[in-house]
Amino acid sequence: MRLSRYTVTVDNFPRKGTYLLYNTKSQAQVVVDKTLKERLEGGPFKAENEKEEMVFRQLCQMGIVIEEGEDEEKKLEDWFGIVQSDHSLLRALVLTTYDCNFACPYCVEEGVRKKLYMGRDTAEDTARYIVRKVKDFNPERLVVTFYGGEPLMNLEAIRIVASMVGEYARSANLNFSFGATTNGSLLTWRVVDELIPLGFRSAKVTLDGTREFHNRKRPFANGRGSFDVIIKNIVNAADKIDITVGGNFDRENVDSIPELLDYLKELGLDKKLKLVNFKPIHETINDMGSFTSDTDMGCVFFEDEVMANLVKLRRLVLEKGFNASPGLGVNVCSMVMNPSFFVIDPTGILYRCPAFVGHTQFSVGDIYHYGEEDFSVKSLWKRCKDCSYVPLCGDGCLYAAYVRFGDAEKLNCQKSFMEYMVRENLKLNYAMGIKRKVNK
C-alpha cells in the first residue's frame, strides 16, 4: 500500500505529535500518531501483523491510502466521470430580467444590466424546455432558481414557469421546488405567501455588513438605503421558507460583520436562517481592461488577508450559533459539470455559468433549438491531475481565469488558496465538532 496523492496532512494537530490526514477526493479524515504518519509517508508499506492489517484496510476504505500498483489517475478520471454524469438532481437557473432596482457599485452584471424582462411567451417556452430536460434526464429532484437582475421584479415570469413546471412535476411524481437569489427588497410577506403554493421553498438574500456599510454598498437605484427593508422581509419570511444570508466583504466593511451577526441574533434569526456565508468582493468582466498581467484578483483569493478573513468570518458565524457553509467539499465549476445544470436568460439564451450571462460569446445555445446546445463537458482538471487539491477545485473558476487573463480556459491555479483553506477549515471543523460525510 501507499499514501494517496490526494491525501494532505495537517501537522501537529489536533495536538503536538499527532497528524490529521485528509483525502480531498473521499473527504475522509483521520488522526494518526507520528510513528504511523512516518510509516505512511515512507513509501510502499505492508502490514507486519494482524492489527496493522486491520488499520491499513480501514485507511484504504477511506481513500487515505491505496493499494500498491493501483492506477490512481484512472480512478480519478472515473470519479470525475461519475460527478459529470450524475443526473439525480436537475438544476435550472432562470433569469426573469436583466433589470435591477439596486445600484451596487461592485455588481458583476453592470455591463449587461438593462430593462429587459422575460415575456409570457418566453416564460412558457422556458418551462417547456425544463420539462423536456426532465424527461431526458429523469432526475430524482428538480430545483429551479430564479435570478437576475432582481428576479422578483418580474413575478409574472416566475408564476408562469413555476406553475407549468410544477404541474408536470406533480403528474410525474417528481420532487420539485424553486427558490430565488434576490436582493431581498421585494421579498414581502405577500410575495412569499403567493409563491409558496407554487413550490417556493428558499431564498438567498445579501447583507453587506451593518446598516451604514450595507446602505453604502447596496443602495436602491435612487440612492436610498435598503438595509431596513431587507431586514423586515427576512424576519417575515424566515418562518415560512429557508433563508440563506450571503454577504460580500472588503476592507471597508469586513469589521462591521460581527456587529451584523449580533443584530441578526438579537432578532432571533440565529435559530431560523438556513445558512450565513460571506465572500470577498471581486473584480468583474468590465474591469478586465484595467488589469496588468501579474494582477491577482480578489475572486482568486490569493491575498493572505482575504483568506484569513474567510476563515475568521466562518468561525464567527459558527461561534455565534448560525449555520455556515461546510467549508470543505467538491466545488467543481458548473461549466465543466454535467448538462443537468444550465442557465436561461430572459430571451431564452442558454449559458453554463451565471457569471457569464449576458456575454453571448459564452452562450451554449438557446431553448428554441433543442438538441443543438453545446453541453459538452470539459476535462481541464487533467492538467492538474498530480495536484492533491484537484478533486476539490477541478481546475478552478473559469470566470476568474477569463477576467484575469481574457481566456476562460487558461490555467488560473488556486493551490495556495486551497492549501490554506483546507488546513484552516479542517482545524475549525475539528474544533467545532463538525463532521463531513465520506464520499463513497
- Is residue 137 over pLDDT 80? yes
Tens of pLDDT, residue by residue over 256-307, are 999 999 999 999 999 999 999 999 886 555 544 333 333 333 344 457 888 9
Decide if pLDDT at 83 tops 70: yes
Asked if residues 29 and 426 have their Cβ atoms less than 8 Å apart, the reply is yes
Measured over the CA atoms of residue 81, residue 87, residue 90 and residue 92, the dihedral's sign is: positive
- For 165, residues 6+ apart whose C-beta sits below 8 A from its C-beta are 127, 130, 131, 142, 144, 176, 178
Name which residue leads in pLDDT, 108 or 312. Answer: 312
The predicted pLDDT at position 439 comes to 40
Q: Which residue has the higher pLDDT, 332 or 169?
A: 169
Residue 281: how many CB atoms within 10 A of its CB?
Answer: 22
Mean pLDDT calculated for residue range 398-405 = 84
Q: Please tell me the distance from the alpha carbon of residue 73 to that of residue 76, in angstroms, as a whole number.
A: 5
Of the pLDDT bands very low, low, confident and very high (cuts 50, 70, 90), residue 112 is low
CA proximity to 375, closest of 324, 401, 340, 424 = 340
Q: For 204-237, how does the pLDDT look when each residue is reduced to its tens digit (9 = 90+)?
A: 999 999 999 999 999 999 999 999 999 999 999 9
Mean pLDDT of 406-428: 90
Q: Given this model, what pLDDT does residue 138 score?
A: 96
| pLDDT above 50: residue 144 | yes
DSSP 48: S
Q: How confident is the model at residue 380 (pLDDT cuts 50, 70, 90)?
A: confident
Tens digit of pLDDT for each residue in 26-79?
Answer: 999 999 999 999 988 888 888 888 988 999 999 999 999 999 889 999 999 998
Please say whether the dihedral angle defined by the alpha carbons of residues 70, 75, 77 and 78, taken in this order, is positive or negative. Answer: positive
Cβ neighbours around 225 below 10 Å, total: 15
What percentage of residues in the chain have a pLDDT greater than 70?
A: 91
Distance of alpha carbon 295 from alpha carbon 105, whole angstroms: 21
What per-residue string of b and e applies to 142-165 under the rule 16 or more CB within 10 Å gives b? Answer: bbbbbbbbbbbbbeebbebbbbbb
Round the average pLDDT of the chain to a whole number and report it. 89
Which residues are registered as beta bridge partners of 10? 20
